[in-house]
Amino acid sequence: MKPAPFAYHRPASLGEAFDLLDRYGTDGRILAGGQSLVPVLNMRLATPAALIDINRLPGLDGIGLGPEGLVIGALCRHAAVEGSSLVAQHAPLLAQAMPHVGHLAIRTRGTVGGSIALADPAAELPACLVALDATVRATRRGGARDIPAARFFRGIYTTALEPGELVTAAVIPPIPPGWRSRFDELARRAGDYALVGLAAHGRVADGALAEIRLVFTGVGPTPMRAAGAEAALAGRRPDPRALTAAGRALDADLAPQGDVHASAALRRHLARVLLARVLTRMTES
């Protein structure tokens, strides 16, 4: 199981990377952490003419605070995000989610930008970004734009990125006082793709969910915002009645597909279980 031959380029600057993107178009693939791309190459599900290895582009592996919030460079490894005190303080949802991403030896290589650009609907990071109302910074020759995460993930492995654009950062806006986060997921084994995951971010007041954003993984083509369940819970404590109502609303919010790992019905059931578990923990003082 070996990849088909490809040319290899290791640009030393964004300018060189854009030149290579222009030159190869859809025949070139960006190589970041490689933890999703290389398996696909090994199985020859993709046979690009060239890999453009962006790992040595300078200045893209930092985590810093700016006026717009917490800026996480695209080349930050999952392990770096997991261990970052800035992330723990300013985006605790991400800190909670990172240990669920693959395994130790995957997180040392896999990157934030790679996870964003791949847009795997089972992935943890995209759901967290949507829950946090974050933006994805896409850089092209001569400029950059910040795309709201809620509009960035368009479908399975499909994003709002345009040809010639690279994901260069995720930007997480400052979190006002009173907001809490909780991430959890249900998987058959630690590190496996979760059957269902939930990124919850909300304002808790007197044990009630004054505001709540719920974004699920693995139960639809994108990170799935559960607007119906959010409405059912707004202003309420997550008591059994509220959770039952929210669980019913989830049926319309989610669009799971059955596969070899779990039927659609099991995923819907697990989503309700996870919702109750996550919200109960989130509102505990």
Contacts (CB under 8 A) with other proteins, residues 105-144: 105-106, 108-109
DSSP structure string for 64-112: EEETTEEEEETT-BHHHHHT-HHHHHH-HHHHHHGGGSS-HHHHTT-BH
Q: Are 63 and 73 in contact (CB under 8 A)?
A: yes
C-alpha torsion 49→18→78→211, nearest 10: -120
Count CA atoms within 13 Å of residue 11 on its CB side: 20
Q: Is 221 in the site for other proteins (CB under 8 A)?
A: no
User: Is residue 27 a contact residue for other proteins (CB under 8 A)?
Assistant: no
Report the relative pairing of strands 7-9 and 50-53 from DSSP bridges: parallel
Closer residue to other proteins in complex, CB, 104/273? 104
How many binding residues for other proteins (CB under 8 A)? 32
Report the SS3 class of residue 133.
coil
Residue 103 touches other proteins, criterion: CB under 8 A: yes
Q: How far is the CB of 6 from other proteins (least distance, A)?
A: 6
- Which positions from 64 through 93 interact with other proteins, judged by CB under 8 A? 79
User: Shortest Cβ distance from residue 78 to other proteins (Å)?
Assistant: 11
Question: Which residue's CB is nearer to other proteins, number 102 or number 218?
Answer: 102
Of the two residues 39 and 64, which places its CB atom closer to other proteins in the complex? 39
Overall residue count recorded for the chain in this entry: 285
Cα–Cα distance, 66 to 128 (Å, whole number): 20
Of the candidates 17, 20, 30, 41, which one interacts with other proteins according to CB under 8 A? 41
Please, which of residues 6-25 interact with other proteins by CB under 8 A? 6-8, 10
| Residue 194 lies near other proteins (rule: CB under 8 A) | no
Select 31 or 149, whichever has its Cβ closest to other proteins. 31
Binding part of the chain for other proteins, among 12-20, 103-111, 158-166, 208-216 by CB under 8 A, reads 103-111
Strands (DSSP E) contained in 119-266 are 135-140, 143-148, 153-155, 158-159, 166-172, 179-186, 196-205, 208-217, 224-225
Residue 259 binds to other proteins (criterion: CB under 8 A): no
Nearest to 278 by CA among 176, 199, 175: 199
- Determine the Cα–Cα distance for residues 216 and 117; give it in Å rounded to an integer: 18
Footprint of other proteins on this chain (CB under 8 A)? Answer: 1-8, 10, 31, 34-35, 38-39, 41-43, 51, 53, 55, 79, 102-106, 108-109, 189-192
